[in-house]
Amino acid sequence: MRKLFRSTSPTLLVAFAALLFAGFGCAKKPSEPPKEIKITADDKMKYDLTAFEVKPGQQVSVTLTNVGTSPKASMGHNFILLKQNTNVQKFLDEGSMHAAQDYIAPEFANSVIANTKLLGPKESDTITFTAPFVPGDYVFLCAFPGHYASGMHGIMTVKQ
């Protein structure tokens, strides 16, 4: 009896592990496709969309396309979604010294919920993220120096 138990238990363990994996797989499966947001940015330092709404915890896919023609070094654009209570001015000031990091200062990396890369003319980037569970307004902006001041920012509202 004891010998039989010993020989079957590894099989049982494998079966149990498989069940666990199946369970996790189920839990992770998104219930609906992500909400798709498409934004363009141009040489006039403007987004064509400055406000959108999502549900708490919803999967969101943002595609930013730079429709301008100016070189990336002088007119790059990105989309950075910030956590609430981020000091935006400080984020921009510190970021301006980190061109190689797409203007996101390492000390502010934790303030970013999601971001596209910095895009040159005709480039596009899609990011997918989970919307915050806390309802409210979340700032998004372009961190290229001077662009926020020119109006390159908007609000993502999380609302049930």
Q: Which of 39, 131, 141, 142 binds Cu ion (CB under 5 A)?
A: 142
Candidate segments 23-31, 65-73, 76-84, 113-121, binder of Cu ion by CB under 5 A? 76-84
Tell me, what DSSP letter sits at residue 117? P
The smaller minimum CB distance to Cu ion, of residues 34 and 123, is found at 123
- Torsion of the alpha carbons at 95, 139, 45 and 104, rounded to the nearest 10: 20
**Does residue 144 bind Cu ion (CB under 5 A)?**
yes
Sequence-distant (≥ 6) Cβ neighbours of residue 143 within 8 angstroms: 78, 80, 91, 92, 95, 96, 102, 103, 104
Candidate segments 50-58, 116-124, 127-135, 144-152, binder of Cu ion by CB under 5 A? 144-152
CA pair distance 148, 56, nearest whole angstrom:
26
The smaller minimum CB distance to Cu ion, of residues 147 and 158, is found at 147
**Does residue 77 bind Cu ion (CB under 5 A)?**
yes
The smaller minimum CB distance to Cu ion, of residues 62 and 147, is found at 147
Q: Which of 106, 112, 113, 97 is nearest to 145 (CA)?
A: 97
Residue whose structure tokens are 């609906």: 32
**Structure-block tokens of residue 47:** 């987004």
User: What is the x/- site pattern for Cu ion, positions 34-73, by CB under 5 A?
Assistant: ----------------------------------------
Instruction: Provide, rounded to whole angstroms, the least separation between the CB of residue 122 and Cu ion.
Output: 15
**Structure-block tokens of residue 52:** 């959108």
Residue 42 vs residues 17, 18, 84: alpha-carbon distances, Å? 52, 51, 27
The smaller minimum CB distance to Cu ion, of residues 80 and 152, is found at 152
Number of residues that bind Cu ion (CB under 5 A): 5
Residues that bind Cu ion (CB under 5 A): 77, 142, 144, 147, 152
